[in-house]
Amino acid sequence: MTKIITSIKEMRQLTNELQLQGNTIGFVPTMGALHDGHLKMMAQSTDENDVTVISIFVNPLQFGPNEDLASYPRDIDADATKAQSVNVDYIFHPSEKEMYPQNPTIEVKAGRLATVLEGAERPGHFDGVVTIVNKLFNVVRPNKAYFGKKDAQQLAIIEKMVDDFNHPIKIIAVDIVREEDGLAKSSRNIYLTEQERLEAPHLFQSLRLAQSMYEQGERESEKLIEKTREYIEQHTSGNIETVAIYSYPQLIKQEQINGKIFISLAVKFSKARLIDNIIIGN
């Protein structure tokens, strides 16, 4: 039976005891509204660790003033049922007051990696991410933590944070889970209208088009970006916010592709802003 824990003190005591007993702890931080992408990470954690802890906490620090904090889907009972289906042992589900008894005095900054792509579109977002992940790591103290490649920029930032702050935690990158038609699974997909849901798989198809051009030898970023944008404009009603090519995980903009890169896009539909990416090269 999956147990829900709401206090930092109890979570710390529990993980202390587990580690003293020699258990390895896997950890999956989430904001709830669990979908198959989350469950894949959790299942991998249960396979690779003695105990799996997930967190469900909608972190206000990573939402901008005009974003969907108030309307973000919250259903702890449904989430607990899903977590139990993949044998999660504990859910850490603190209140906002428990995690932030007062506004943080000391700020954690994501730095240069957060000045591009999603970070440029959502100022302060990744500062909020690294703040909460640091807090969660200090509470749960896992051996391994699992993050999805769907948020590739976030993954790169977390990996660098762990390195810079000397967290004794191994970060495990988990592949994107997609619907049968290619749409990346996301908690925000529920905001799509019926017509937008039919259009949304074309985001992945646009990335596949860019990948095929790369595989045929194209190395000019601008040509890949142009074709990707054209495809999205022809096949969806969404407003393109970003199509960009950066080195990975360094996140340096590429004019001529050399080495491992990721092609990233963000498209705004009427009530849903969707992101997707594909990592290619060596």
| Positions marked catalytic | 38
Q: Are 232 and 211 in contact (CB under 8 A)?
A: no
In three-state form (DSSP H/G/I as H, E/B as E, the rest C), the secondary structure along the chain is CCEEECCHHHHHHHHHHHHHCCCCEEEEEECCCCCHHHHHHHHHHHHHCCEEEEEECCCHHHCCCCCCCCCCCCCHHHHHHHHHHCCCCEEECCCHHHHCCCCCCCCCCCHHHHCCHHHHHCCCHHHHHHHHHHHHHHHHCCCEEEEEHHHHHHHHHHHHHHHHCCCCCEEEEECCCECCCCCECCHHHHHCCHHHHHHCCHHHHHHHHHHHHHHCCCCEHHHHHHHHHHHHHHHCCCEEEEEEEEECCCCCECCECCCCEEEEEEEECCCCEEEEEEEECC
Q: Is 32 among the annotated ligand-binding positions?
A: yes
Q: Is 188 among the annotated ligand-binding positions?
A: yes
Q: Is 253 among the annotated ligand-binding positions?
A: no
* Token pair belonging to 76: 């702890």
Q: Is 35 among the annotated ligand-binding positions?
A: yes
Q: Is 202 among the annotated ligand-binding positions?
A: no
* Token pair belonging to 69: 């904090």
Q: Is 139 among the annotated ligand-binding positions?
A: no
Q: Is 38 among the annotated ligand-binding positions?
A: yes
Q: Is 62 among the annotated ligand-binding positions?
A: yes
Q: Is 47 among the annotated ligand-binding positions?
A: no
Q: Is 125 among the annotated ligand-binding positions?
A: no
Between CA 148 and CA 152 the distance in angstroms is 7
Q: Is 154 among the annotated ligand-binding positions?
A: yes
Q: Is 89 among the annotated ligand-binding positions?
A: no
Q: Is 148 among the annotated ligand-binding positions?
A: yes
Residue numbers belonging to the annotated binding site for beta-alanine: 62
Residue numbers belonging to the annotated binding site: 31-38, 62, 148-151, 154, 177, 185-188
Residue numbers belonging to the annotated binding site for ATP: 31-38, 148-151, 177, 185-188
Residue numbers belonging to the annotated binding site for (R)-pantoate: 62, 154
